[in-house]
Amino acid sequence: MTTHSSGSFAKPVPLYAKVKQSIIEKIYTGEWKSNDRVPSEAELVKQFNCSRMTANRALRELTAEGLLVRLQGVGSFVAEPKGQSALFEIHSIADEISARSHQHRCKILKLSELDADVKQAAELDIIVGTPIYHSVIVHYENDVPVQIEDRYVNAQAVPDYLQQDFTKLTPHDYLSMIAPLTEGEHIVEAIAGDPRSCKLLQIESGAPCLLISRRTWSIHYIVSSASLLFPGNRYKLKGRFNS
pLDDT of residue 62: 87
pLDDT of residue 85: 32
pLDDT of residue 11: 59
pLDDT of residue 96: 85
Which tens digit of pLDDT belongs to each residue from 220-240?
Answer: 789 999 999 998 866 666 555
- Give yes or no: residues 168 and 220 share one domain: yes
What CATH number should be reported for the domain holding residue 60?
1.10.10.10
- Give yes or no: residues 36 and 129 share one domain: no
Q: Where do runs of H (alpha helix) occur along the chain?
A: 15-28, 41-48, 52-64, 93-99, 118-124, 171-178, 195-201
Q: Which of 63, 78, 93 is the last residue of a domain?
A: 78
- Give yes or no: residues 60 and 93 share one domain: no
- Give yes or no: residues 136 and 229 share one domain: yes
What CATH number should be reported for the domain holding residue 207?
3.40.1410.10
- Give yes or no: residues 118 and 65 share one domain: no
- Give yes or no: residues 125 and 169 share one domain: yes
Burial class (CB in 10 A: 0-12, 13-18, 19+), 208: middle
Task: Check: pTM over 0.85? Answer yes or no.
Answer: no
**Are 100 and 114 a contacting pair, CB within 8 Å?**
no
Which tens digit of pLDDT belongs to each residue from 83-121?
Answer: 333 335 567 888 888 888 889 999 999 999 999 999 999
Q: Which of 29, 47, 78 is the last residue of a domain?
A: 78
Averaged pLDDT in 10-residue chunks for the chain of 243 residues:
45 82 84 89 94 92 82 82 46 84 94 94 92 96 92 93 94 89 84 93 89 88 93 65 47
pLDDT of residue 90: 67
Domain membership of residue 35 as a residue range: 15-78
Q: Is residue 209 part of a domain?
A: yes
Q: Which of 78, 102, 118 is the last residue of a domain?
A: 78
Q: How many domains does the chain have?
A: 2
- Give yes or no: residues 176 and 233 share one domain: yes
pLDDT of residue 240: 53
Burial class (CB in 10 A: 0-12, 13-18, 19+), 19: buried
